[in-house]
Structure 1
Amino acid sequence: MKTPKTILGRTAAIVVGGGAIVATALALETKILPNKDSGTPPAITLDEKPIDRAAGLPMSFSSVIKRVTPSVVKIEVVGKAQPAVDLGGSGMQLPFGDFGSPDLRQFFERRGNGGGGSNRGGQMRMPREHGAASGVIATADGYVLTNNHVVDRADKVEVTLHDGRTFTAKVVGTDPKSDLAVVKIDASNLPAIPFADSSAAEVGDVVLAAGNPFGLGESVTLGMISATGRATMGLDYEDFIQTDAAINPGNSGGALVDAQGRLIGINTAIVSRGGGNDGVGFAIPANMVRSVMNDLITDGKVTRAYLGVMIQDLTPSLASQFKAPADTKGALVGDVPAKSPAAKAGLESGDVITHFDGKAVKDARSLKLAVASEKPGDKAELKVLREGVEKTLTATLAPQPGSDKAIPAKHSGSRDNEGTLNGVGVADLTRALRQENNIPSDVQGAVITNVEQDSPAWEAGLRPGDVIQQINRKSVSNAEEAVKLTEDAPNGDTLVKVWSRGGSRFVTVDETSGAVNQ
């Protein structure tokens, strides 16, 4: 067993003001495989030259589109049957368009209410799910970008190139906190898209959205940047570019490019009252994409830094209370946990952080994004206002809590000193993970963060979001205990008590013969 490479999550839809923010592909099961090229940064092309904003609109974008479309791919996913969900009265919209017929939303509701399907243990099961979305070729040697919610629960991922070739892809890594994923195909000399500096993007810039809407095939739409710095989906790290270029279900993971054909974002979500395009779409900025992609390819996980402060936006009324000018921008410090990097740097409750590592802090979210872009061990200079007096402090950033328990993966080929439950990743059951996976407060154990699909544990039915409560009749209270209980198992036959939605059950995982019993 291993502690997690990444903590997996799911994004579906969020009802907002009578509409819905819709992630444009339905979640399926994720297969995370070892990265054979681990440690090697991706070879991307970065073009930071500013666009010519004084030039008028061309009569045609065909030359740009001809450069861009070979870099945009169709992604098809197949997932295992999942428990049906009754959405009646919830007000939530499923992003059904990525999976074919608009009737799929009603189909889910109908199955959830008891119509058809197999019933095993009182839980309705669905047929295997199929979906189509988009991706972008990031490197010539086969790394492809898409959204986490596209491949999150996929058994099989296929990538079809502009020239018609189709490849089975391996999921290199996923980052639910930003809704990004990287998959790899076995190909070379691919038409990789150049990256732009997304921090230079401005409202009013012309953009094109390229992708695979409704599974119809490659399509390109024209619009402009409507806003930047949007935070709309409830993800941990959001800095979306908003555009009115038409983005429809199936465009998830596709490219948002500037007038020169450079990638400035990965299309991710739309705000919609009816499930289709209403002119409000969101893309993850290319600078964040590059950072996450680099971590996933080199380390198999995203490692973000931690300052250790509870912060909030500084309003004019709060500024006056803490003797800061009314027009001060920054993040107001609430709590400073003991022994945190912030505490060691000398930060105090009531401080206003105005600059982080030489960059102005606009609000709490901008500080959170700035800290997350650094690496554990980095030193960051902080400028703060304390009772109206400016101070300069230096903090040595630490790994985010819960991200520092990495144990190498164990694979079920050799049995020498490898223990059991190989290919399973676990983490301590924190409050955040309870909320993310809807785990009741009375359930104790270690939460499963990933399961390799070629493992007996996967075949036994263990899935991310399940909670391991017992291993061989011994209680599990945290991730470390779960790992220890698998290290010296007498044989490869492991009895696991696991909680999943609907209650607890026992499964046996036989890693000696591959046999599975439930």
Structure 2
Amino acid sequence: MTPNLALPRLLRPVLSVLAAFAFLTVLAASGASAAERGPASALESLYVLRTADNHDRFLGSAFLWGDGSVAVTADHVLRGADRVRLTDHLGQEQIGEVIARDPQRDIALIAVKARGVGLSPPPVLAETDIGGTVWALGAPLKADFTVTRGMISARPRQVAPSVPLDLIQHDAALNPGSSGGPLVDAEGRLVGMNIRIADGSRLNTGIGYAIAAADLARIVPAMINESHATLPHLGLHLRAVDRRIAAALALEPGGLLLDRVLAGGLASAAGLLPGDILLSAGVQALRHPGDLAFALEAAQARGSLDLTLIRDGAVIAVSLPLEAAQGTELATRGMAGAAALSRITAYRLEDMGIRLDDEGRVLRLTGNSPGAIAGLAPGDRILTLNGHAFDVAALRRLELTAPALLLAERGEGSTRHVMLDPWDRAAEEVPRVSSAANMLDPAIVLF
């Protein structure tokens, strides 16, 4: 009996369509999951930073670099700390030592216990063309392990005129806590490190900036092997010669007008004077203050920078030495020296601005001292320290080597506990009153 093949033949076109649809569905699904897997996998390299003390204060973000021996973050995130607590996506914590920092470029390195391969610029750098999709990873507003999506919204631009970096501008949402986190592409490849949002704004405005992966690729390894150097402090204030200034001086716009030359600085040693107009640095014409920063960076290896300037209507040449000025902070501390920190280990009450009378009452209290910040007030009587009563003579001689809990009695008889911690950096976070009259003209750039 011949089998009936009519029905299978009729079904073949339908089955073909169904098979094609299923294939496209799987392909689309796999493509979507790959895109999701890229930025999501980069979260495994992300750290959330907090202070390495009992306060456990939130600082910001960082990410594992390269072979996994260091984490990279923005220097301003550390708030001057030499040790920080790092938490990874699994909730595992460790204490890391800050081993290198460049405050000018806003990059810092933290030694960590290796736990696999981290992020690093790929052999072929991720695209940074306008319109390219990027993901910002970090802990914005303390929301741990958050991913926001955006696109590259402008050509790389120099945001700080005294810093030789062209930053990637993008519109992935950044907020306080995002700084130090990586910017990645759809494949999870490193595009840059987020460091700031538009000036004058604290919360996301749609304009964020990241140090490009190409710059991290040259700077981070140099910081690790201690061959990196911060830019020299020239000791000068300058501004661009704009149309109004040029008209007053009967010149064409362009060049940099020196507002101030600090005594004892490198610029002063080279003979530069207020009123000089810098025209070029090496072969680089100086039209904007930021041009000088890139010229300085390029000339550091040579140890000097040749300047052409106008003084009293005459064009003259000056050689500017670029050796490190005395007292310049080192950019690196080194892996081996991570634990060699200078830190005061013991304080007496007088060292903390607290003067007691013979009955243990606060006779005098220095403003902004650890005692004042802790909440002590003149007239308070100290009853106990860490739960133990002390005679006044012993209390005056006592040297604290760790934070102490004081029980203080107020004049009206009420009591309260006060934590006295001279090692606490919270004082740096206390807002101080400032006057707009003391603010620098925003047109002036410091070098």
> What is aligned with 2:239?
312
**498, 501, 506: which one aligns with 2:368:** 501
**139, 144, 152: which one aligns with 2:66:** 139
Q: Is the 8 A contact 1:178 1:235 kept in 2?
A: no
> What is aligned with 1:215?
143
> What is aligned with 1:185?
112
Matches within 5 A, 1:202-241: 204-213=131-140, 214-226=142-154, 228-229=156-157, 231=159, 240-241=167-168
User: Secondary structure in 2 aligned to 1:371?
Assistant: helix
Output the CA distance in 1 between the equivalents of 2:396 and 2:102: 29
Q: Which structure's CA Rg is the greater one?
A: 2
Displacement after TM superposition at 1:365 (Å): 3.9
> What is aligned with 2:289?
364
| Pairing 1:280–2:207 present | yes
Q: Is the 8 A contact 2:38 2:185 kept in 1?
A: no
Output the CA distance in 1 between the equivalents of 2:70 and 2:48: 13
Deviations 1:371-407 (A, max 9, x none): 367648712233435567665543221324531799x
Q: Is the 8 A contact 1:173 1:181 kept in 2?
A: yes
Q: What one-letter code is carried by the residue in structure 2 that aligns with 1:74?
A: Y
| Pairing 1:73–2:46 present | yes
- 1:347/1:152 Cα in 2 relative to 1: closer, same or farther (>3 Å)? closer
- 1:63/1:353 Cα in 2 relative to 1: closer, same or farther (>3 Å)? farther
User: Secondary structure in 2 aligned to 1:183?
Assistant: strand
Displacement after TM superposition at 1:173 (Å): 3.3
User: Secondary structure in 2 aligned to 1:305?
Assistant: coil
Displacement after TM superposition at 1:74 (Å): 2.1
Output the CA distance in 2 between the equivalents of 1:509 and 1:286: 52
Matches within 5 A, 1:145-156: 145-152=72-79
> What is aligned with 2:306?
381
Displacement after TM superposition at 1:156 (Å): 6.0
Q: What one-letter code is carried by the residue in structure 2 that aligns with 1:314?
A: V
Higher relative contact order (CA 8 A, sep 6+): 1
Matches within 5 A, 1:97-112: none
Q: Is the 8 A contact 2:183 2:194 kept in 1?
A: yes
Q: What one-letter code is carried by the residue in structure 2 that aligns with 1:75?
A: V
Identity of aligned residues (%): 23
> What is aligned with 2:324?
399
Q: Is the 8 A contact 1:173 1:182 kept in 2?
A: yes
Displacement after TM superposition at 1:221 (Å): 1.5
Displacement after TM superposition at 1:77 (Å): 1.4
| Pairing 1:170–2:97 present | yes
Q: Is the 8 A contact 1:342 1:395 kept in 2?
A: yes
Deviations 1:171-227 (A, max 9, x none): 2134444443211112165133217999x9565554332224443425242222346
Output the CA distance in 2 between the equivalents of 1:507 and 1:291: 53
Output the CA distance in 2 between the equivalents of 1:390 and 1:153: 44
Q: Is the 8 A contact 1:459 1:516 kept in 2?
A: no
RMSD of equivalent CA atoms: 5.1
Output the CA distance in 2 between the equivalents of 1:66 and 1:331: 47
Displacement after TM superposition at 1:516 (Å): 9.4
| Pairing 1:266–2:198 present | no
Deviations 1:286-305 (A, max 9, x none): 56656664565344995322
Q: What one-letter code is carried by the residue in structure 2 that aligns with 1:185?
A: V
Q: What one-letter code is carried by the residue in structure 1 that aligns with 2:50?
A: V
Q: Is the 8 A contact 2:74 2:108 kept in 1?
A: yes
Q: Is the 8 A contact 1:460 1:508 kept in 2?
A: no
In structure 1, the gaps of 5 or more residues are 1-57, 82-127, 414-421, 425-450, 452-456, 470-497
Displacement after TM superposition at 1:461 (Å): 9.0
Q: What one-letter code is carried by the residue in structure 1 that aligns with 2:98?
A: V
Deviations 1:469-511 (A, max 9, x none): 9xxxxxxxxxxxxxxxxxxxxxxxxxxxx97724899998979
Output the CA distance in 1 between the equivalents of 2:370 and 2:402: 24
> What is aligned with 1:256?
183
Output the CA distance in 2 between the equivalents of 1:263 and 1:245: 15
Q: Is the 8 A contact 1:508 1:516 kept in 2?
A: no
Displacement after TM superposition at 1:259 (Å): 6.6
- 1:307/1:260 Cα in 2 relative to 1: closer, same or farther (>3 Å)? farther
Q: What one-letter code is carried by the residue in structure 1 that aligns with 2:193?
A: I
User: Secondary structure in 1 aligned to 2:236?
Assistant: coil
Output the CA distance in 2 between the equivalents of 1:507 and 1:243: 57
How many residues in Structure 1 have an aligned counterpart in Structure 2?
335
In structure 2, the gaps of 5 or more residues are 1-30, 354-364, 373-394, 405-419, 421-447
Displacement after TM superposition at 1:284 (Å): 3.7
Q: What one-letter code is carried by the residue in structure 2 that aligns with 1:225?
A: S
> What is aligned with 1:481?
none
Output the CA distance in 1 between the equivalents of 2:330 and 2:95: 31
Q: What one-letter code is carried by the residue in structure 1 that aligns with 2:197?
A: I
Matches within 5 A, 1:318-467: 318-326=245-253, 328=254, 330-336=255-261, 340-343=265-268, 345=270, 347-368=272-293, 370-371=295-296, 375=300, 378-385=303-310, 392-403=317-328, 423-424=341-342, 451=343, 457-458=344-345, 460=347
Q: Is the 8 A contact 1:305 1:373 kept in 2?
A: no
Output the CA distance in 2 between the equivalents of 1:300 and 1:458: 31
Output the CA distance in 1 between the equivalents of 2:305 and 2:227: 25
Q: Is the 8 A contact 2:258 2:273 kept in 1?
A: yes
User: Secondary structure in 2 aligned to 1:190?
Assistant: coil
User: Secondary structure in 2 aligned to 1:398?
Assistant: coil
- 1:290/1:351 Cα in 2 relative to 1: closer, same or farther (>3 Å)? farther
Q: Is the 8 A contact 1:77 1:156 kept in 2?
A: no
Q: Is the 8 A contact 1:177 1:237 kept in 2?
A: no
> What is aligned with 1:246?
173
Output the CA distance in 2 between the equivalents of 1:153 and 1:340: 25
Q: TM-score, with normalisation over the residues of structure 1?
A: 0.50
Q: Is the 8 A contact 2:128 2:152 kept in 1?
A: no
